[in-house]
Amino acid sequence: MDHADNSDLEAMDIAVEPTDAVAYELARLRHSCAHLMAEAVQDLFPDAKFGIGPAIEHGFYYDFDLPRPLAPDDLEAIESSMRSNQARREPFSRQVVSRDEALRIFAENPYKVELIRDLPADEIITTYRQGEFLDLCRGPHVDTTGDIGPFKLLSIAGAYWRGDEKRPMLQRIYGTAWRSQDELDAHLERLQEAQRRDHRRLGRELDLFSVSEEIGPGLILWHPKGAMVRYLVEQFEQQEQLARGYDLVNTPHIASEKIYQISGHLETFRENMYAPMSIEEVDYYLKPMNCPGHIMIYKSRVHSYRDLPIRFAELGTVYRYERSGTLHGMLRVRGFTQDDAHIFCTVDQVVDEVRSVIDFAIHMAGVFGYEFQAYLATRPTKAIGSDEVWERATTDLIRAMQERGWSYKIDEGEGTFYGPKIDIKWVDALGREWTGPTIQVDFNLPERFDVNYIAEDGERHRVAMIHRTLLGSMERFVGGLIEHYAGAFPVWLAPVQAVIIPITDGQIEAAEDVKRQLERAGLRVEVDTSRDRMQAKIRNAQLQKVPYMLVIGKREEVARAVAVRPRSGPDLGAMSIDDFLAIVQPRIASHSLTLSDLDGTEA
């Protein structure tokens, strides 16, 4: 049984209320389907106890406390019962009840009792009934079970009650529901394609990375091929940063509690930090962020206004606690390397610097073949600094986006504790959004750390600080790339760019000579010297998603040529090594997403 992401477990079993009419209709339909599923579970397991069952993006789930573990066959039985109840067109009936009445109704269910007791004193408490199933719920629902539409149960996962590892582990059933069969079929096809692109499966098949229980969950082991992809991404980004006026720095993996007391991390971020280690009676923490170190580098000497802006960039490894149930391959981890940068500038330079980072982000999206969507993340509940400071920082971010002609969506309360931010989400080949660049304007940490510069008037003035990531976590970014490209990296990123395939042992020497020529030209090349037949060798290279297969038979050996077979598109035929290099080298240099003039973007 998989473990579910428990981040949304604090909500009651209520439908979301989006402003978009279609989204609202789907949310209401899916929430109703969650109740239909719970009714079917009750039919099959009369002693079941129920947690919560909300609508979520693309579907719904419900958490159950059951007398035995569910098996995949159980989903078929539950679906069958759901269809029977759907055919009866059972009406959804709403009733307002008092708190005492609600506690009496659900007295045998400790999960509902806990939810009821946690409700605000002035909360209007309602129940919904369809058939023999009665649930604590705010609603709303469709009129009858017959109005729910086509649905499909998808998977079973484990989920701690309210996301707390110290609480009971419940069984969560995920499902999806749509307005029409065509919409459902299209969604199921997208899910199949997402499974085909799953970075965890491809990571194993392509030998890119692994996770070891002995090392610890959420800690990635980069294998040689995966490490090569990461190296190429990092090398490219570092070169781009240097060309844009960034200075590279490095900071330690641990720091004393003093720095995190000043920064406010211990006050607002402690639950995401690991327990301290005591060194000479001083508590040290694994760093959760790189910004305090960059601030101390800036403060190591006095800066004039003529020095600003100063841009420090670091591929810094940080450590943040994530519950085991939320870990997910490379995408949700406990230790990760982040492409952090911090820009120290005057208040008047903020908008120009944010605009420059936006341009940098657009460039990076294009290189890796992503579309993108911008979000403005506003002040969270836990925050430091005055309303005035937050308003000024938010205004600067909005102004920079407006000057770039950007439209954006609001992510209410999703800013960091020290400042608002722009979140730029990559949109991948399946239309899914991935966390990408973030740009944060911060007037709070400069105040807390007393970070200044000498202005033209000879007086000390407070700097403004911009926190910036472009790709974010290298682990998450590479994991996302694997899925975006379905493991078929463009040639400049491919860990092995070409496999040379001798048809018989008689061509091995010629293959090794070609390998030496290509390596001198800077390519990453292997020779398949296995005893497999040629077609099997080609198939193996295709399964490993190598961009080019270079076949050498007797004819090619005599002509000192190779028969070029790209992994996608038509074969390019026999050609000299120089002619092959004339195709591949410009594509590497330009970071092209295609392998020849005859194929299209593969992602």
| Cβ-contact 335, 317 below 8 angstroms | yes
- Banded model confidence at residue 404, pLDDT cuts 50, 70, 90: confident
Higher pLDDT, 29 or 601: 29
pLDDT per position as a tens digit, 347-380: 999 999 999 999 999 999 999 999 999 999 998 8
Same domain, 479 and 536: no
* HSE-up (13 A, CA, CB side) for residue 65: 15
For this structure, is 409 an active site residue? Answer: no
How many angstroms separate the CA atoms of 503 and 360, rounded? 47
Q: Which of 148, 126, 138, 122 is nearest to 54 (CA)?
A: 138
How confident is the model at residue 13, as a pLDDT?
40
Residue 145 lies in a domain: yes
Domain boundary among 450, 484, 518: 484
Same domain, 508 and 544: yes
How many angstroms separate the CA atoms of 77 and 246, rounded? 60
- Banded model confidence at residue 8, pLDDT cuts 50, 70, 90: very low
Query: Can you give the CATH number for the domain in which 556 is found?
Result: 3.40.50.800
Residue 594 lies in a domain: no
* Torsion sign (Cα): 299, 300, 302, 305: negative
Domain extent, residue 117, equals 2-196
- Residue 67 is classified by DSSP as S
For this structure, is 31 an active site residue? Answer: no
| Burial environment of residue 475 by CB neighbours within 10 A (0 to 12, 13 to 18, 19 or more) | buried
The arithmetic mean of pLDDT across residues 108-128, rounded, is 95
Is pLDDT at 17 greater than 50 in this prediction?
no
The domain tally of the chain equals 3
How confident is the model at residue 598, as a pLDDT?
65
Same domain, 94 and 239: no
Catalytic-labelled residue, pool 138, 199, 294, 342: 342
Same domain, 179 and 35: yes
Catalytic-labelled residue, pool 162, 197, 265, 291: 291
Residue 493 lies in a domain: no
Higher pLDDT, 603 or 502: 502
pLDDT per position as a tens digit, 287-316: 999 999 999 999 999 999 999 999 999 999
Catalytic-labelled residue, pool 86, 130, 338, 349: 338
For this structure, is 467 an active site residue? Answer: yes
Same domain, 18 and 102: yes
pLDDT per position as a tens digit, 165-204: 889 999 999 999 999 999 999 999 999 999 999 999 999 9
Residue 602 lies in a domain: no
Give every strand in the sheet of 433-442, ordered side by side: 247-248, 310-319, 335-345, 464-473, 433-442, 421-427, 371-377, 409-411
Residue 598 lies in a domain: no
For this structure, is 35 an active site residue? Answer: no
How confident is the model at residue 342, as a pLDDT?
97
For this structure, is 342 an active site residue? Answer: yes
Residue 521 lies in a domain: yes
Is pLDDT at 2 greater than 60 in this prediction?
no
Same domain, 468 and 549: no
Same domain, 450 and 513: no
The arithmetic mean of pLDDT across residues 210-234, rounded, is 96
Catalytic-labelled residue, pool 35, 138, 320, 468: 320
For this structure, is 320 an active site residue? Answer: yes
| Cβ-contact 127, 106 below 8 angstroms | no
Domain boundary among 163, 196, 229: 196
Q: How far is CA 326 from the centre of its chain?
A: 12
Catalytic-labelled residue, pool 340, 396, 423, 428: 340
Query: Which tokens belong to 449?
Result: 């750390």
How many angstroms separate the CA atoms of 549 and 535, rounded? 11
How many angstroms separate the CA atoms of 141 and 134, rounded? 13
Same domain, 350 and 462: yes
For this structure, is 340 an active site residue? Answer: yes
How confident is the model at residue 599, as a pLDDT?
61
Residue 601 lies in a domain: no
Same domain, 503 and 372: no
Residue 225 lies in a domain: yes
Catalytic-labelled residue, pool 421, 476, 545, 587: 421
The arithmetic mean of pLDDT across residues 94-117, rounded, is 96
Same domain, 460 and 528: no
Catalytic-labelled residue, pool 199, 467, 537, 545: 467
pLDDT per position as a tens digit, 329-355: 999 999 999 999 999 999 999 999 999
| Cβ-contact 504, 556 below 8 angstroms | no
Domain boundary among 161, 196, 231: 196
Same domain, 341 and 471: yes
